[in-house]
Structure 1
Amino acid sequence: MGNRQQATGNRQEVESKKKLGIATIFRRDRWLFPLLMGLTSRTLIVIAMVFIAPLLSVPEGARSVPQGWGVFFAWDSAAYHAIAVEGYHYVNDGQGYNVAFFPLLPLLTKLVMSLGLPFDVAATLVNSFAFLGALFILYNWLESCQGKSVARWSTVVLAWCPFSLFGTVIYTEGLFLLCSTAALTAFHRQRHFLAAFWGILATATRITGLAIVPTFLLASWRKRLPFRAYLASFLSSGGLILYSLYCWLQFNEPLAFLKVQKAWQPEQDFFGQGWLIMFGQILFGHANMKAGILIDPWHPLMIITIGILGFLLGEFRDRLPSVGVDIGFSLLFLALWLIAGDPFLNTVMVLGGIYVLWHTRKKIPAIALIYAFFSFCIIFSSGRTTSAERYVYGIISTSIALGIVFQKYPRWGYIVTVFFALLLFLFGLRFAQQQWVA
């Protein structure tokens, strides 16, 4: 009799845990906050691109703003359109063929197009819904291991960062963030084969997804995980392997996607030339760098002045109100942005991302830190700066690290978020006018 009662009690306990688990998954705050951040930031983008951009005069060198869904189509979007409609093309002649672009986005887009939607609509919906999915996964992962505050701030960073524009237009950012974040989350929770599934999708989305493979291997070794973890690590490269197999069968060149990369990148005389030029543009200005001599002394003079003011503000910050110090640094940062422009923002995105990762290395989930290390290795391996800031945004670890910082210093979180919103609006206008963003 006692055993029967105990068995009945155990079953009730199991059922209670199942109900609790389901209730936890569908808790309103677990989907409401990321949904709110995703929709409000996407609304700002739509307002800028669809409603404001057509009303503005077109800058010199820019194109007229397309109508409707066409505003989300520019630059790399043309390559994904060609793949979805015509398929891949490649000849080993040193030219830039669309085989450089990985297949998952055009495949999913073609699937949605089979419902009768045009390419612009289908591709935009695929990337946008994937981006929202990434926000949901990130929030729920961090809430369970870092707490609600870090989860909220990290979600804010991911949703409002100006480069989140590429989570809505016809690029792969939204899809890649979904797959890579889901893979890291699953592996962190030791759901290894689910992690392998998402890893395969990530490596089928873009080449930087390959960072997931050594990340899983190193994490498995550090934690002495069972064999299935190592197996999942190797399986995660499946997207890249399948694409390479396709290139071999179709073009008799398994590394076709690597051989065309040079044609898609600007020439450089030596490794790291782009970084040297970008630092020079920040310090001396575009005009001086282009002329090769100092024709505009005001730019370096203003940079030096801002540097001195920043040093003095840091030295005497203990004697000033904290609010005044924060406002002072914010104004100096704003001045640097107005003077140095995109090179300054791009440098801050890359080097600032490395700094916040190092600063939060003891608090960030270990697998996210490892993933960031291998991702940065891939980004720096080319020695080029083209789109480096956008690739850094695609490393989910940087959003997590910044969320941890803002959880500790919320005033800076609010200041940066307002600045992010301004840039997101401006980037939307530029992209709609077919101007280069990242």
Structure 2
Amino acid sequence: MSMPRPESENWYAPTWGRLALFALVSRVLTLTAGLFLAPAAAGPHWTADQLAFRAEVLAGPVPWLEPWVRFDAGFYLAIARDGYHPPAEGEGPNAGFLPLLPALIALAATVGVNPVLAGVVIPNVAFVAGSACAGRAALRVTGGHRTVWLGCGVLATYPFAFYFSAPYQESLYLLAAAGGLLAWYDRRPALAGLSGLIAATARLTAVAFPIGLFVEAMLARRWPSRGAWLVSAATAAGAAVLVGYLWLALGDPFAHFKAHAAWGRESPSLGGVGRALLQAVQELGQWERPFPVVKPIALFGTLALGIRGWVKRGPLWGCLILIPVGQALSTGTTLSIERIVLTSFPAAFELGELLGRSRMMRVAWLIAALPAQGYFLWLFVNNGFLN
């Protein structure tokens, strides 16, 4: 009777190194595609502020990265340079953007790294590590090598996965949240708690982790473990860092939540969920333009995968998918939902398992997802507002 080979000797095993290499190759290809699709000149739809920011980046030491600095990236870079401040006339409030990425960019700037370069490099490095953490965590949950590889493939090929390479928070949240989940499965609650604290400074959807732990304990009719309480306290501390800093900087501890009104969001409510779902149903009928119909597909697809994950893997896995989406819907709009579902990263592995059932399904996913990502990346670098 032959003994099973160690994981490191199995060519198909999703080891740390192989997962990281796969993610790295995907980022190099994505960054290259963005530069290739970049406009030669600004279009007539560019605003004066966008033109000024473009000129500033082009005059800097890394002008070739200018196509990746779009929309929210400008806010993150401005916060890194100037901190949080009350909005000037005609300007959106920067308190709506969380501090982890700006803090890291500012830290890099103190040692001489150009902020634009740091703003692009940091998310891409975070995605490489975060994708590997997510894959290893999914291996603990699913036990399937194929599911892990296909799930990481979904993370890289999803039509809006290019946001993982832009100066946005998505990659940082993936690293912190997936790293915390992996630490929890490895029975390292202190590290999981630290990861929850960091995740909360990138996305407040970090609350999905402690909520999932408590729901899991409640449904099992047992008291939450000390580790679950530690993760909850640490995640709450991360949110408190945001609230406290904005209180000191702007004199209003609720500045972050109020700022979202400027972007068309309501205060969270159950009624908001209903209104957002109705909006998504209406968007399904807007076939004359490609973007509006993609948003509800991403939304309803993620919700379906979240329900599947809950039933098959348990409430923690399900909460990590469903709560970020529910939190976004509670504000009464589907604004940016195509990007927000990136925080529901376990959904990628649920879809990966489904794709593993049929080669035809895998081919169909690539035929649909890769051209779609190319199109939306083209819109992004050409300053076409996706919403």
What TM bracket, shorter-length normalisation? Answer: 0.7 to 0.9
**Which one of the candidate residues 80, 97, 100 is aligned to 2:76?**
80
Find the aligned partners of 1:227 and 1:36 in 2 and give their Cα distance: 36
Q: Aligned runs of 1:362-373 on 2, under 5 Å? A: 362-364=311-313, 366-373=315-322
Match of 1:234 in 2: 233
In structure 2, which of residues 45, 49, 73 is the aligned counterpart of residue 61 of structure 1?
45
Gaps of 5+ in 1: 1-19, 286-335
TM-superposed CA distance for 1:242, in Å, is 1.3
Check the 8 A contact 1:102/1:205 in 2, yes or no.
yes
Quick one: structure 1 residues 365 and 259, their matched pair in 2 at CA, closer, same or farther if it must change by over 3 Å? same
User: What corresponds to 2:3 in structure 1?
Assistant: none
Q: Give the residue type in structure 1 aligned to 2:347.
A: T
SS in 1 for 2:262: helix
Aligned residues: 363
Kept in 1: contact 2:147–2:353 (CA 8 A): yes
1:377 corresponds to which of 326, 330, 333: 326
Question: Which residue number corresponds to residue 50 of structure 1?
Answer: 35
Quote the offset at 1:343 in angstroms. 1.4
Among 164, 168, 183, the alignment partner of 1:167 is 164
Q: Is contact 2:138-2:346 (8 Å) kept?
A: no
Is contact 2:173–2:202 with CA below 8 Å preserved after alignment? Answer: yes
Structure 1 residues 68-103: Cα deviation after superposition (integer angstroms, max 9, x where no partner):
111111111111111100111137999732111111
Q: 1:115 aligns with which of 91, 105, 111?
A: 111
Amino acid at match of 2:208: A
TM-score norm. by structure 1 comes to 0.74
Distance of 2:295 and 2:102 partners within structure 1: 28
Asked if 2 retains the 8 angstrom alpha-carbon contact of 1:50 and 1:71, the reply is yes
Query: Per the alignment, do residues 221 and 279 of structure 1 end up closer, same or farther by CA in structure 2, a change over 3 Å counting?
Result: closer
Residue 259 of structure 2 aligns with which residue? Answer: 260
Paired residue type of 2:26: S
Q: CA deviation at 1:181?
A: 1.2
Over 3 Å counting, the alpha-carbon distance change for 1:30 and 1:344 in structure 2 is same
Which residue of structure 1 lines up, in the alignment, with residue 102 of structure 2? 106
* C-alpha deviation, 1:411, in angstroms: 2.4
Amino acid at match of 1:176: Y
Q: Secondary structure at the match of 2:311?
A: coil
Tell me the distance in 2 between the aligned counterparts of 1:187 and 1:32.
21
Give yes or no for the alignment of 1:194 onto 2:179. Answer: no
Q: Give, in whole Å, the separation in 2 of the partners of 1:353 and 1:238.
A: 29
Change (3 A) 1:370 1:188: farther
**Cα pair distance change 1:240/1:202, threshold 3 Å:** same
> Which one has the largest radius of gyration?
1
The 1:92–1:45 alpha-carbon spacing in structure 2 relative to 1, beyond 3 Å, is closer
Q: Residue 293 of structure 1 corresponds to which residue in structure 2? A: none
RMSD of Structure 2 on Structure 1 (CA): 3.1
Counterpart CA distance in 2 for 1:92 and 1:203 is: 27
Give the letter for the 1:145 counterpart: V
CA distance in 2, matches of 1:120, 1:43: 17
- Matched residue of 1:233: which SS? helix
Displacement after TM superposition at 1:345 (Å): 0.8
In the alignment, the residues of structure 2 paired with residue 220 and residue 186 of structure 1 have an alpha-carbon distance, to the nearest angstrom, of: 18
Matches for 1:133-152 after TM superposition, within 5 Å: 133-146=129-142, 147-152=144-149
Shift of 1:389: 1.6
Identity %: 23
Q: TM-score, normalised by structure 2?
A: 0.83
Tell me, what secondary structure is at the counterpart of 2:252?
coil
Change (3 A) 1:277 1:58: farther
Q: In the aligned structure 2, how far is the partner of 1:140 from the partner of 1:28? A: 10
**Equivalences for residues 19-418 of structure 1 within 5 A:** 29-54=14-39, 61-62=45-46, 67-90=63-86, 96-146=92-142, 147-222=144-219, 224=222, 225-265=224-264, 271=272, 276-277=278-279, 279-283=281-285, 285=286, 339-364=288-313, 366-418=315-367
